[in-house]
Structure 1
Amino acid sequence: METSAARETNRLLRGVSTGHVETVRDAWRALLADKSASIPEVQSKLSSSAWLDNPPGPLPKYFGILLALMSEMDQDAFRQEITRLGNDKLHPVHRRTLDLMAKRLEDAPSTYLANNIPVFIADDVADPPRVIRNLQRWSSTKDLTLDNVTRVDVIAERPELDYLGQYNLFFSGIILTWPTTQPKGFELWLANAEREFTFYHEVGHHVHKHIEGGQVAEQEKEADDYARSMFRNSRPFLTGIGRVVLWPFKPLLRNLLRYLNHRMARATNL
């Protein structure tokens, strides 16, 4: 009789094969929810002789996602699998995947959000302590929910990257980009505001259980609305005071707001 872990593992691989994001996401979460049963099942899959041969079809994706799942479930078991597989005569395609996934063993979380969500910050990101302080503050915003978010990765901002954040559908994670040099003055404030809004936007995708990854305008609007709500919640005093104090300066602020909206649109146009 097929166990629940075996059924969910097969569903995970089927979702990868068909490119059905929702199937992958749901199976991934189900396997993480029952690690004691899932780990032996994934180990069994990774013990297959299939990884020694020329990989047909989606087999390379299977290998990668099984390793990624193992790394999320149990670092010690993941390390053992990396070592064991490293001694096998893997096909070169799988060998490259193994070498890439082995780099996860070198990573240690920079901090945790909500006590259990690891945050990984790339070495070339500017001022990691500031990044940590910001993320911890943002994650404590009133009414923010991080349910089902499994990890946050902060990577270096690059000219070729046209996004500031990404909702990682398969692994229920969030990816944020960050400058490699620390801005100053107004640019620093703007950079922090952009990334705070982007963080809330990506969380909004999780909250609304979106599965298209930013490809649907209606879903982007929902995530934007959630981000605006959290942005207001994060600074209720300033929001209230601002409506009174800044109202006489509304004409002068209109151009600035247009500029910020343009930057925010770029930040969330995934």
Structure 2
Amino acid sequence: MSDEIQTLIARLLRGISTSHVETVRDAWRDLLVAGPRAVPDVADKLESAVWQEPPRGPSGKYFGILLALLSELDPGAFARLIDRMRRQKLHPLHRKTLDLLAARTGDSPAFEIGEGIAVYIAPDIAEPAIVVGNLRRWERAPGLDLGGVSRIDVIARHAGLDYLGLYSMFFSGIILTWPAEPPRGLRLWAQRLDAEFTFYHEVGHHVSGHIEAGSVAAQEDEADAYARRMFRAAHPVLSAAGRGLLWPLGPLLRRIGPSRFGDEEPGATHPR
């Protein structure tokens, strides 16, 4: 083991545990510069039996960031480790993270949008055709800029995986959450609007060159402003009439999911 690499890994994980984005960014960059020298130490961390246990504190985030790092350092070593870990005992949350990042190797995308942007849909999404239809419609929003996006992963909504957008930004990717079993009626309509806004919000992070993804309030405001512009461009009639038409449904919409119509608190963020 290299003391230098161990120090960089410790710094990376410390940045994750304290949500200090500059520390994460700098340690990530330095580990990538170290290249092959960092692979044995990163792989050794991932071989630990600790991932069999329930996550404690930020340990779930540690597992994800280390997997993501190894996939960037050495795709071959990453694929071999994935193969081994799939045959081993893992805590269910870590297995979900493993499965998501494993999809970055070998699997074929469900479809593409924009200029060859691959879209991967998790197998536990019950009606992937709904996802396909929505994303194909959303990409046509006038003025939408997908130039900084390399891929999109659509995963089942799970409270324990809400941090995944952090290291997705290092890949120039977007992670969208989707109900495994889509609701019906008005609830489905509201969730589709929320998912569309979130898609534009995530694109806004890429357009603005952010890598902190949800950690800096000013950047969240900037991404929200971009999302509002795209939403208005995609739904000019609904946006103009929405505040008046949907006002009677306000309590219901608040109950079934976030609404994008009505006033928001400054610095408000939106779930991924």
The equivalent residue for 2:120 is: 120
Q: 2:41 aligns with which of 40, 45, 52?
A: 45
Distance 1:112 1:42, change over 3 A: farther
Distance 1:110 1:74, change over 3 A: farther
User: Per the alignment, in what secondary structure is the counterpart of residue 170 of structure 1?
Assistant: helix
Q: Which structure 2 residues correspond to residues 45-194 of structure 1 after superposition, within 5 A?
A: 45-46=41-42, 65-71=65-71, 75-82=75-82, 101=98, 104-105=101-102, 108=107, 109-115=109-115, 117-146=117-146, 149=149, 151-157=151-157, 161=159, 168-172=165-169, 173-179=173-179, 180-184=181-185, 187-194=187-194
Distance 1:103 1:189, change over 3 A: closer
Q: Is the CA contact (8 Å cut-off) linking 2:198 and 2:270 kept in structure 1?
A: no
AA aligned opposite 1:45: D
Distance 1:31 1:194, change over 3 A: same
Distance 1:69 1:122, change over 3 A: same
Distance 1:46 1:176, change over 3 A: closer
User: Per the alignment, in what secondary structure is the counterpart of residue 211 of structure 1?
Assistant: coil
Q: Is the CA contact (8 Å cut-off) linking 1:121 and 1:128 kept in structure 2?
A: yes
The count of residues paired between Structure 1 and Structure 2 equals 243
AA aligned opposite 1:269: H
**Which has the larger displacement, 198-207 or 257-266?**
257-266
Q: Deviations over 1:73-98 (max 9, x none)?
A: 665442234457899xx9x999x969
Measure the CA separation in 2 of the matches of 1:15 and 1:211. 14
Q: CA deviation at 1:219?
A: 3.9
Q: Is the CA contact (8 Å cut-off) linking 1:16 and 1:62 kept in structure 2?
A: yes
Q: 1:14 aligns with which of 1, 11, 15?
A: 11
Q: 1:255 aligns with which of 225, 247, 254?
A: 247
The equivalent residue for 1:3 is: none
AA aligned opposite 1:17: R
Q: CA deviation at 1:182?
A: 4.9
Measure the CA separation in 2 of the matches of 1:177 and 1:99. 13
Q: CA deviation at 1:196?
A: 0.6
Is structure 2 residue 197 aligned with structure 1 residue 197? yes
AA aligned opposite 2:139: S
Question: CA-atom RMSD, angstroms?
Answer: 5.1
Q: Is the CA contact (8 Å cut-off) linking 1:28 and 1:170 kept in structure 2?
A: no
Q: Which has the larger radius of gyration?
A: 1
> Could you tell me the percent identity over the aligned residues?
39
Q: Is the CA contact (8 Å cut-off) linking 1:150 and 1:171 kept in structure 2?
A: no
AA aligned opposite 2:214: G
Q: CA deviation at 1:212?
A: 6.8
- TM-score norm. by structure 2 comes to 0.60
Distance 1:86 1:10, change over 3 A: farther
Q: CA deviation at 1:226?
A: 0.9
Measure the CA separation in 1 of the matches of 2:45 and 2:37. 15
Distance 1:110 1:268, change over 3 A: farther
Q: Deviations over 1:52-83 (max 9, x none)?
A: 6999xx99976653332233566544223445
Measure the CA separation in 2 of the matches of 1:253 and 1:49. 54
